[in-house]
Structure 1
Amino acid sequence: MLKIENLHTSYGPVEALHGIDINIEDGAIVGVLGANGAGKTTLLKSIAGLLRVSKGHTVYAGKDITNLSAQRIVKLGISLVPQGRLLFTEMSVRENLEMGAYLLQDRTEFNKRLDDVHAMFPILKARAQQMVALMSGGEQQMLAVARALMTKPDLILLDEPSIGLAPKIFDQILDTIKDLNTVRQTTIVIAEQNVKKILKIVDHAYVLESGKVVIEGTSEQLSNNEAIRQAYLGL
Structure 2
Amino acid sequence: MPDSPSRSLRLGIAGPVGVGKSSLIATLCRALGDELALGVITNDIYTDEDARFLRSAGVLAPERIRAVETGACPHTAIRDDVTANLLAVEDLEQDFAPLDLVLIESGGDNLTATFSPALVDAQLFVLDVAGGGDVARKGGPGIARADLLIVNKTDLAPHVGVDVSAMVADARTARAGAPVIALSRHDPHSVAQLRAWVLALVDRHRSGDHTPIDPGPMAPHSHAHDDDHDHDAHHEHPHDADDHHDHG
TM-score by structure 1 length? Answer: 0.35
Q: Which has the higher contact order (CA 8 A, sep 6+)?
A: 1
TM-score by structure 2 length? Answer: 0.33
